[in-house]
Structure 1
């Protein structure tokens, strides 16, 4: 996958030219260009210096890998091994998609309905770069109850565990926080809220019971 380099993503997010970033970070423009193209690799210290000049810090991010799955009608689609986050403003940037008639149209990711429309297209037709650059894990979980019915069953069943794992992770964190704050079992009302929220994410009754017992 030809993802944009970290330095390029940071520079574009700030809306700056290579010349401006090179001047701010004490790097030449040709060298910065080589870093962004991947023809030359900066040391960790140099990368940190450039990112610091843009107001960013280096951090750890899960490495996402994709596998190709064959669809029911002979087509293929991609499924990741985990969800990831897309930093704003990239996660709200418009995306051009083709509808069933192959006409090109622009989906507005700032609008929830537009985001659901774009995500339906991405998980069905998107390549690795399109998925990684536009599909935000948290926004996907939020959209899932409305998005899932629009997906072919084979695709829905592949992505459902990713959404379920995110929901279970949320509940585990909420339970831990509640117990740390109150030192007593979660209340019936809070339990009912958790059940409704997990059910809205598509978890089965058995999965909800296992999560609540955990």
Structure 2
């Protein structure tokens, strides 16, 4: 098999733009997913079953259905319903964020519940209300334990962005498919895309490992 370096050079700028969009989609989606996930996780922990019910349904739906189906529902259904017309990037961020929030909520819930109940009691005895104790005492301790699973979720999300190529969002895999469709070549476009994904995820894994070691030594 002879590698066509000329077509890789031709598509290099497009792969670069696709990589930047992939990273951008991932960062924005994980930030939104973490914010939503925190509220959903706290909602699931409510002692009132009627308050917790919609949060449980949300998590069950998004964890129990394929992400690709969710992307198509958002792209062809939710976004046109809200905006009057669809938009690929808006749909991608929305679907990825909603999906990520379901998994992040479980990470937050498990992290918070892993903290000894005596910590909350001690904070309350010092005059803090529940919200202050959660924000100043429980969450900072839980966050250190949540770094590894949150990092794994971010890595998964980066790879999941490849699915939005199905709604013509011009991220990394989209340009791999474009190259394959133009030149009828398989190895060059898809191996290039796979290598770029590998570099991104491996670099992130190293960064998260370093951050985790630093937090555990503090």
Query: What's the TM-score once normalised by structure 2's chain length?
Result: 0.26
TM norm structure 1: 0.26
Higher helix share: 2
Q: Say which structure is richer in strand.
A: 1
